[in-house]
Amino acid sequence: MLDEAGIIINKCGRLPKLSVALVKYLADVRNGILEARRLNANFMYSLNNSKGLDSFQDIFAWIYSNFQACPQLLKKCVFYLSLFTQSSMIRQSRLVRRWIAEGYSEGTDSNSKVEYTEKLLHELANLGITEHPHQTPTVAGCQINSLFLEYVISRETEENIFLPLEVSVLQGEGSLNTQRVGQHLAIGSSWKRDKFVFDNMDLSRLRSLTVSREWRPFLISDRMRVLRVLDLEDTNVADGDIEQVVKQLPRLKFLGLRRCTKISCLPESLGDDLRQLQTLDIRHTSVTKLPKSITKLQKLQYIRAATSLRLMDEEPSTPWRTSHGHVDACNGIIVPRGIGALMALHTLGVVNIGAGGGKAILNELKYLSQLKKLGVSGINRSNIKGLLSAIFGHSHLESLSLQLHKDDKDLEWLGKITPPNNLQRLKAYVHVVKYPHWSYLQGLGQLKRLHTLSLRFETDQDVELQFCDNLDRNRSSTHRQFSELKVLEIVCSSNLHVMFAGGEMFELKVLKVHCSTGASLQLSRIERLHSLKYVWLKGSFDDTTKEELRRKVTQHPNKPNWKLD
């Protein structure tokens, strides 16, 4: 009963009034379990025709008027959302890149197309079709309003106006009429991978294929000659499968392989066969270098590669998950010489410039003038000037992520660098093995436009971080440290004590701390973080420590959203 009720509540689109009414309704009927199953099987019909639930017609009128007010392109976007699991968070960048590949964007260049599709997402949110929960403040994600989507899909067969897009979803042991496969197909994790059923589908008009979890080689076919979007995120697809993808799908514009950990190598034929490719997402795979032929992909706009720089990861599709594996200071990907020929690139990362050939790669970066976001690893005092020189004059660059080499003896040199004038966000990721003293990190405090700071301590020593006002520490400088910092993440393998002061981190909104098993955590003067909105603390703390941490967070004047694991 609880499982059935949970599904129903999710379908309510998080509307408390409707959720409470449905729970009360199920409690009053004679056989609540059977009635709950009936509701789930035909949710919208049951809401419209069950006694006791007829008072919610105003909600359906609101949904209907909102959908009718949408221009045709937004209606397409609404149906497009049905390709994703309704309860999951979806990265906005994932939708943006897919919609650009589908031709839903307008603009003269890649940056203006991104802005246009982001505007579509904002319009969907304003209409109540998508929501942006507070769970993931450091990741741009959205969630579908399940009630809105259920209603729109339920009207699909009633009015032709509700057919702006052909979407098919395979779940359970279901099959599709071959004439109804249409342009977009999603294969759910629960669908029984039936080769006979799949081989008999008409895939000649298929433009996008989204697969969840289990991958089978027969899911790729040369009958998909017009396929533009292939999204295999979180599946068990392997190297050999990608070779077939490259060979059989020449019109691909979007290839999503995020968290496909069995992929370790991209085929050299990638650059010869996928000349239309715009988006390549291989984050959290085992790929360590890009093939040389990738330099032939003149339409490529977006490359995301390597393992996550984020120390405490909260991907929208899997909230509250910690980053997997060992976070190394040089976990960026090796790119080939000639990468500077990809003039359309606006997103590139994470590139390892600490490996062999790093200077040559820095020279290539000079030619990527359209870059909007750049992630670089292997940063040290000897190559930082070369990097800043390479990106000097990149007028579109808004976000720069630097992962510092863990073997640097001190970071004082960081306070002396000057980021590009137009930069809006600077992110620094520091991996510390030997921690002599807090002064080791103080150079970070002088970094201009530092938005995100992630610190990982792997040491047996107790770690004390003193984010104290410069004047209190009798320093000659009157400049506040960390004055623009918005996000602070700390992962520590030993006992950790973090002390804040009123003059520092005035803009800090997000604090996340993860202590290893057996390590203790102290937070001092957290109330002095005047802009704090969100706190996530994770570790195997004893009851006394948990209670103390809970008390400090709940007594904060801002009453921030918080989670204690």
* pLDDT at residue 282 is higher than 80: yes
Quick one: DSSP state of residue 129? Answer: S
The mean-pLDDT minimum among 25-39, 64-78, 151-165 falls in: 151-165
> Exposure string (b/e) for 57-66, b if CB count within 10 Å is 16 or more?
eebbeebeeb
Model-level pTM? 0.87
Residue 166 located in a structural domain: no
What's the mean pLDDT in 474-489? 74
The mean-pLDDT minimum among 67-71, 152-156, 360-364, 432-436 falls in: 152-156
Q: How far apart are CA 500 and CA 502, in angstroms?
A: 7
pLDDT digit string, tens, across residues 153-178 = 676 556 555 556 788 888 877 666 54
Residue 62 located in a structural domain: yes
For the record, the structure tokens of 112 come out as: 């203006």
Residue 35 located in a structural domain: yes
Give the residue with greater pLDDT, 411 vs 246: 246
What's the mean pLDDT in 322-330? 39
pLDDT digit string, tens, across residues 378-411 = 998 889 999 999 999 899 999 999 998 776 666 7
Confidence of residue 330 (pLDDT cuts 50, 70, 90): very low
What's the mean pLDDT in 276-282? 98
Q: How far apart are CA 294 and CA 333, in angstroms?
A: 13
Q: Are 440 and 466 in contact (CB under 8 A)?
A: no
Residue 77 located in a structural domain: yes
- Which domain-ending residue is among 127, 144, 161? 144
Q: What is the mean pLDDT of the chain?
A: 83
Pairing of strands 496-500, 463-467: parallel
Neighbouring-strand partners of residue 489: 454, 512
Output helix, strand, coil percentages for the chain, rounded to the nearest 5.
35, 20, 50
Number of domains in the chain: 2
What's the mean pLDDT in 74-85? 85
Give the residue with greater pLDDT, 118 vs 85: 118
Residue 179 located in a structural domain: no
Q: How far apart are CA 45 and CA 306, in angstroms?
A: 47
* pLDDT at residue 136 is higher than 60: no
Q: Are 391 and 365 in contact (CB under 8 A)?
A: yes
Residue 61 located in a structural domain: yes
Q: 432, 451, 559, 562: which is closest to 507 by C-alpha? A: 451
Owning domain of residue 547:
487-564
Q: How far apart are CA 306 and CA 282, in angstroms?
A: 7
What's the mean pLDDT in 200-229? 93
> How far is Cα of residue 222 from the mean position of the Cα atoms in its chain?
31
Q: How far apart are CA 290 and CA 437, in angstroms?
A: 39
User: Residue 373: how many CB atoms within 10 A of its CB?
Assistant: 19
The mean-pLDDT minimum among 10-24, 102-116, 490-504 falls in: 10-24
% of the chain beyond a pLDDT of 70: 82
Reduced to 3 states, what is the DSSP secondary structure of residue 168? strand
What's the mean pLDDT in 9-28? 70
Residue 10 located in a structural domain: yes
% of the chain beyond a pLDDT of 90: 42
Q: Mention every residue, 6+ apart, whose C-beta is less than 8 A from residue 45.
A: 154
User: Residue 154: how many CB atoms within 10 A of its CB?
Assistant: 17
Burial-class residue 437 by CB neighbours within 10 Å (0-12, 13-18, 19+): exposed
Residue 348 located in a structural domain: no
* pLDDT at residue 132 is higher than 80: no
What's the mean pLDDT in 401-423? 78
- Which domain-ending residue is among 144, 160, 195? 144
Strands (E), 236-389: 254-256, 279-281, 302-304, 347-352, 373-379
What's the mean pLDDT in 222-240? 95
Confidence of residue 133 (pLDDT cuts 50, 70, 90): low
- Which domain-ending residue is among 116, 144, 172? 144
